[in-house]
Amino acid sequence: MIKGFRQILFTLWLFVELVLAFILLYGILFLVGGAIPVGDLRKSGDLTIFVQSNGVHTDLCFPYQTEWCDWSEFIPAEHFPENPSPKYLAIGWGDKGFFLDTPEWSDLTFSTAFNAAFLPSETAMHVACYDTDLSTSSLRAQVPVSADQYLMLVQFAKASFLLDSHERPVWIANSGYGAYDQFYEAKGSYSLFYTCNTWTNEALKLVGIKTGWYALSGDGIMHHLQVDE
């Protein structure tokens, strides 16, 4: 009886130790991975993109129409009837349940947060359009890129969309938060070790733009993009 009780206590102690070790190691990765810089920032380029954050989630912001890419040929303009010719598209990848079920932070539930954090889950692409020029701030950075870099970023973003038989993104109809954004089915699984910010981080690393070595948070990307005036 006593031996069995000791075995239970040992098992519980071992479980707690493993959980604490995981939290510690993940915390180190979360903080240090985003603090280590890789890549460089250009002072000029063929065109400009933006990287933005809402404090938690990051997006890549692409000019809607350029000589290198016309996004209307990939995402139908009729999906944005109130703004069929925007100046920029903000594109982000993330957990589908979190995206669709949490339009406001007040809508966040424990099950949504738990599934996003601890279970590999389905993903979606969030696309928002802007009909004005974008300005820089602590949550939005301007990034000059070459034409080659831009085309690689476009290809990276497009490759994350799940496509139908006509090579068009699979639209999740009437799923946007308002008239200026929409959701689409995406490829890949969301997890603690591959977040919405890891997706943005991977895109920037692909083309050599300065960012964190392994950014799980938005800050692990944004603070590398801020340029001192």
Give the domain ranges of the chain: 36-225
Average pLDDT, the chain: 86
From 21-35, 42-56, 192-206, 213-227, the region with the lowest mean pLDDT: 21-35
CB 156 within 8 A of CB 198: no
Model confidence over 137-179: pLDDT tens digits?
Answer: 999 999 999 999 999 999 999 999 999 998 999 999 888 888 8
- Which tokens sit at 223? 């603070």
Cα distance between residue 62 and residue 110, in whole Å: 33
Q: What is the pLDDT of residue 181?
A: 93
Model confidence over 113-139: pLDDT tens digits?
Answer: 555 555 667 899 999 999 999 999 999
Q: What is the pLDDT of residue 25?
A: 77
Distance of CA 147 to the CA centre of its chain: 22
108: pLDDT strictly greater than 50: no
Q: What is the pLDDT of residue 192?
A: 86
Cα distance between residue 111 and residue 127, in whole Å: 25
- Per DSSP, what are the bridge partners of residue 152? none
Cα distance between residue 94 and residue 27, in whole Å: 21
